[in-house]
Structure 1
Amino acid sequence: MEVSLYTENELNDVVAVYVEAFSKSEGENEGLVIGELAKALLETTPSQDIYCFVAKQHQQIIGVIIFSRMIFEEPLQSFILSPVAVNSLSQKQGVGQQLITEGIEYLKKQGVTLVFTYGDPAYYSKVGFDVITERQIKAPQPLSFPHGWLAQSLSGDDIPILTGDSICVAALNKAQYW
């Protein structure tokens, strides 16, 4: 398996991975919703505010992750990992974890100090994320699943307490995703 940065000519294949993976696990409607989210993130987010990584096997994309910028009142380099998808035939083989690990290493080299995600703590704890509360760091939208709010320090420091609001990129800043 090879992990690389996404290129624009891979858009349709990337969206297809999201649609297939989420349709199989969450239902067809959710697959379409997350496919549209991925497309919107990749088409509308300024290039300095997004990183997308693809996993390929035999030249075919089998997994995708997207990191997009988070902004706080305090100056720090932070991104949120969302969404993550691995096609149904390649799941439970470490593809997602390898994508996340390599993506985080890339971000660390770019000077990013804090990464967030919103999902299953049991899964994301395997790749270094810790559960946080909104008292510690406020999410951009109200959380429907508060114990799924997670962060990881890439600087070696403890996860800070940040006061004030957080802002994510426009495509992700919709209540339905939170």
Structure 2
Amino acid sequence: MEFTSPGSDRVGELTELFRTSFAASEGEAEGEAIARLVSRLSRAIDAERLFCFGAEEDDALVAAIFFSELVFAADVRVFMLAPVAVLRPFQRRGIGKDLIRFGLGVMQQRGVEIAVTYGDPAFYGKVGFLPLAESSLRAPMPLSMPQGWLGQSLTGEAIPTLIDRPSCVAAFEDPHFW
């Protein structure tokens, strides 16, 4: 398994990976919604505000994750991990967790102070994410499942209180994803 940084030249492959993965677990409609999101994210990968990391086996992309910047009024570097997908035949082998750890390491090296995500606390807890109260670190939009708002410090320092609503990349400016 090799970890890579797929760029915007792999929009089709990334989109299909997420469509297939989410359709299998969440249904066709969610697969299509996530595919549209990933198509938009993939076209905007710039290795400054938006990063993508992938896991490849025999030159085929089998898992991918995105990190996108959340901009708060305070001078704190915060990136959101979302979405995350692993093709079904490659699930339950630790690939997703290893890819997330890899991505977090790269983000830490790039000076990111806080990583957040919005998902299953049981899964993301395995890679160091802890529940966040929206009163201490707000999401870009109101959350439909506040228990899924999670974060971790990449510096070892406590996560500061950030009560202003951050801006996010354009692809996430849709209440459907929150």
The corresponding residue for 1:137 is: 137
Q: Distance in 2 between matches of 1:172 and 1:165?
A: 14
The answer to whether 1:101 aligns with 2:101 is yes
Could you tell me whether the CA contact under 8 Å between 2:45 and 2:51 is conserved in 1?
A: no
Q: Is the 8 A contact 1:44 1:171 kept in 2?
A: no
TM-score normalized by the length of structure 1: 0.97
Residue 15 of structure 1: how far off its partner (Å): 0.8
Runs of 4+ displaced beyond 4 Å? none
Shift of 1:45: 5.7
SS across alignment from 1:157: coil
Which TM-score applies when normalising by structure 2? Answer: 0.97
Q: Percent identity?
A: 37
Mapped partners of 1:176, 1:45: distance in 2:
21
Alignment of 1:159-174 (within 5 A): 159-174=159-174
What runs of 5+ residues in structure 1 fail to find an aligned partner?
A: none
The equivalent residue for 1:69 is 69
Q: In 1, distance between residues paired with 2:22 and 2:163? A: 34
- Is contact 1:18–1:38 with CA below 8 Å preserved after alignment? yes
TM-align CA RMSD: 1.1
SS in 1 for 2:71: strand
Q: Is the aligned partner of 1:38 residue 2:38?
A: yes
How many residue pairs align between the two structures? 178
Partner Cα separation in structure 1 for residue 41 and residue 131 of structure 2: 25
Shift of 1:46: 4.9
Alignment partner of 1:51: what SS? strand
The question of whether the paired residues in 2 share the 8 Å contact of 1:45 and 1:171 is answered with no
